[in-house]
Amino acid sequence: MTDGIVNVLKPPGMTSHDVVSRVRRIYGIKKAGHSGTLDPDAAGVLPVFVGHATRLLEYAATGKKHYRAEGIFGIRTDTGDDSGNVLETKPAPAFSATEFEIVLQQFRGKILQIPPMYSALKVNGKKLYEYAREGIVIERSARPVEIFRLECIKLYPPYFILDIECSKGTYIRTLLEDIAAALGTCACMTFLLRTRAGVFSIKDSHTLDEIAYNPDSVLLPLETAVCKTGKLYVNDLQAFRITNGVRTTVKGTASGTYSLYLADAFLGMVTVEDEVVKPEKILFQVKQPQEPA
């Protein structure tokens, strides 16, 4: 079975699910999933995990995301971007770049966000956008997110372009709407490009056509998803015990989460507490080593 990760350059006009389906066909595999949904109209980095790599999706999803977003002041839509129906128009007040910067400062760091109705967030097993298409509005609680970087790249009213680095679960459309509200107007997003998702950068991404042309050449190793995690190297017997579900003491190992290795072979993910190694996501089992004759 094919195992690995593809750093896809998602084009606008495709859903994230469409991209995964195309990757499945290219590699002739059923087991695949993406790390972090991109809106259909958005473009940029969409890591797709295939085969055993899908078991590492939860680790990749925690990484920071980087975006370049364009918005327009004075228009509010039901989707939060310019693909939706216009709900409201307002004059865009005149303000300077300095005044804009003062407002942006309010949104740096830890903030609360109410997820938009047009999102893939599930409530009672159903995605919010499915409710929205039926004209149903669901009560949503504000959720904490973190904005690590928020810079104005260009301000040319009524348009503006922001460079954003944020935590997982941040809705850029909502961020632009909230910034506009703080300025006394409304806004919607007109373009979104994800330039980085965790360790996956746009400069290393590949179009679907490039992937189809030479699938093996762009397939990254499984451990790419957890390359920022500390590595724990064990011997043959320890590897056998841990990969077969046995908690094993490895003296001198600090508590935390680790990528487990036997020599150069990546075996999966483990957690350590009080020097005891607990298997979490074992991808490959090691056979019992033979005792010397």
pLDDT in tens, 164-197: 999 988 999 999 999 999 999 999 999 999 999 9
Separation between Cα atoms, residue 190 and residue 188, nearest integer Å: 6
Contacts 24+ apart (CB under 8 A), 255-258: 256/230, 257/229, 257/230, 258/229, 258/230, 258/231, 258/232
DSSP the chain: ---EEEEEEEPTTS-HHHHHHHHHHHHT-S-EEESS---TT-EEEEEEEEGGGGGGHHHHTTS-EEEEEEEEETEEESSSBTTS-EEEE-------HHHHHHHHHTTSEEEEEPPPSSS--EETTEEHHHHHHTT-------EEEEEEEEEEEEEETTEEEEEEEE-TT--HHHHHHHHHHHTTS-EEEEEEEEEEETTEEGGG-B-HHHHHHSGGGGPBPGGGGGTTSEEEE--HHHHHHHHTT--EE-TTPPSEEEEEEETTEEEEEEEEETTEEEEEEE-SPPPPPPPP-
93 — pLDDT class (breaks 50, 70, 90): confident
As given in the structure block, the two tokens for residue 269 are 């993910």
Give pLDDT, residue 137: 84
In a domain, 26, yes or no: yes
Which of 90, 98, 46 is closest to 72 using CA atoms? 90
Place of tokens 């473009």: 43
Together in a domain, 78 and 130: yes
Each residue's pLDDT tens digit, 230-270: 999 999 999 999 999 999 999 999 999 999 999 999 999 99
CATH number for the domain spanning 262: value is 2.30.130.10
Together in a domain, 54 and 132: no
**Higher model confidence: residue 277 or residue 63?**
277
Q: Quick check: bond before 11 cis, omega within 30? A: no
Catalytic site residue from 3, 39, 81, 178: 39
Alpha-carbon distances, residue 158 vs 91, 99, 102 (angstroms)? 9, 15, 18
Together in a domain, 109 and 175: yes
* pLDDT above 80 (res 291): no
Together in a domain, 271 and 176: no
Which of 9, 40, 14, 18 is closest to 189 using CA atoms? 40
In a domain, 193, yes or no: no
Together in a domain, 57 and 84: no
Together in a domain, 177 and 74: yes
Give pLDDT, residue 290: 79
Each residue's pLDDT tens digit, 11-33: 999 999 999 999 999 999 999 99
Together in a domain, 58 and 203: yes
In a domain, 210, yes or no: yes
Give pLDDT, residue 134: 82
Each residue's pLDDT tens digit, 101-111: 999 999 999 99
Each residue's pLDDT tens digit, 103-156: 999 999 999 999 888 877 888 888 888 888 888 888 888 999 999 999 999 999
1 — pLDDT class (breaks 50, 70, 90): low
Give pLDDT, residue 127: 84
Together in a domain, 98 and 144: yes
Number of domains in the chain: 3
In a domain, 292, yes or no: no
Backbone angles phi, psi at 198, to 5 degrees: 65, -120
Residues 6+ apart with CB under 8 A from 287: 240
Beta bridge partners of 32: 50
In a domain, 114, yes or no: yes
* pLDDT above 80 (res 45): yes
Cα Rg for the chain, rounded, in angstroms? 22
* pLDDT above 70 (res 206): yes
Together in a domain, 137 and 205: no
Together in a domain, 100 and 148: yes
CATH number for the domain spanning 56: value is 3.30.2350.10
Together in a domain, 245 and 261: yes
* pLDDT above 70 (res 82): yes
In a domain, 289, yes or no: no
- In the residue annotation, 163 being an active-site residue is answered as no
In a domain, 190, yes or no: no
In a domain, 191, yes or no: no
Together in a domain, 76 and 179: yes
Domain encompassing residue 43 = 4-63+199-224
